[in-house]
Structures are given as structure tokens and as C-alpha cells.
Amino acid sequence: MKIFSKWISLETQEKYQEIALNDFIEAIVFESRVSDGIVLIFSQHTTIGLYLSNNDKYLKDDLENFLDEKIPNDPNYLHNVYGGNNASAHLKNVLIGSSLTLAVNDGELLLGEWQNIFLGEFDGPRKRKILVKVVGE
């Protein structure tokens, strides 16, 4: 059994931003020398999300607009009234989620033709750290 862990550190630039993580995760899976197993991608933050989706700049804007329309940063959220100012980003995080579990098959990260791994920044710019843990043989 092999367990291999590595952190991805990055700085976001925008309030709302979508960042593709594929290259980072694929490199870590390669470095792990795990040929069959699973990969945990874990965010230790409460105002970003991790998700799989198409790498389409139009869809990126659609998701941003959808989330902002459904979960605007209403000043009446209690978290905002009492000084937090980012209740919207927290709620988006709860809905989108903070971790992903993917598969490694034949030494490679398994992703569908249209699938990409994204970090959704909901309250940037900030420094972010993502743990990647590969478990298998």
C-alpha cells in the first residue's frame, strides 16, 4: 500500500475565479507511482469550492452568474451584519463542497473527455492550500 501526499499552494487574483487543477493533480499522481487507487483532493478553506466541470469559458461565466444570482452577498445575512462580509462565499462553499475523491487507473488520473478539476474561488484574492493524497498500489 502506498500513500503519497502533497500540497498545492496558490494565490487567487479575483473575487470570483475558476482555476483548473488538472495539471497539478496529474503531476502528483505521476510522482506518487500509484498505478491503481484513489485520489483525495481536500481544501482546508471555507470560502472556496472544489468541483468537476467542463473547461468552457462560457460555462464558467454561467456558473458564476448562477451562483451570484441564487446566493448574492445580501448585507442582511447575519454573518455579514456581524462583520463577516462574505456569507455568500460560505454558503457557496457548503453547496459546492470542499473535497473530491477521484480514481487512478493504470497509473493515470481518470477524467472523462470533458471533465476538469476546478477550484472555485468565491472570496478572493487569497492564498489557498489544497492537499492531494493518493492511496493505492
Report the interface residues with a copy of itself, using CB under 8 A: 1, 3, 5, 36-38, 40, 42-46, 51-54, 56, 58-59, 61-63, 66, 70-71, 77-79, 81-82, 84, 87, 90-91, 93-103, 105, 110-115, 131, 133, 135-137
The three grid cell numbers given for residue 100, joined into one nine-digit string: 473530491
The least distance separating a copy of itself from the CB of residue 63, rounded to whole angstroms, comes to: 6
The least distance separating a copy of itself from the CB of residue 38, rounded to whole angstroms, comes to: 5
Sign of CA dihedral 29, 53, 20, 41: negative
Our CB check for a copy of itself shows the closer of 31 and 56 to be 56
CB 48 within 8 A of CB 109: no
Amino acid at position 56, single letter: D
The three grid cell numbers given for residue 89, joined into one nine-digit string: 462565499
The least distance separating a copy of itself from the CB of residue 4, rounded to whole angstroms, comes to: 9
Our CB check for a copy of itself shows the closer of 23 and 58 to be 58
Our CB check for a copy of itself shows the closer of 1 and 23 to be 1
Q: Is 102 helix (H, G, I), strand (E, B) or coil?
A: strand
C-alpha neighbours within 13 Å on the C-beta side of residue 119: 34
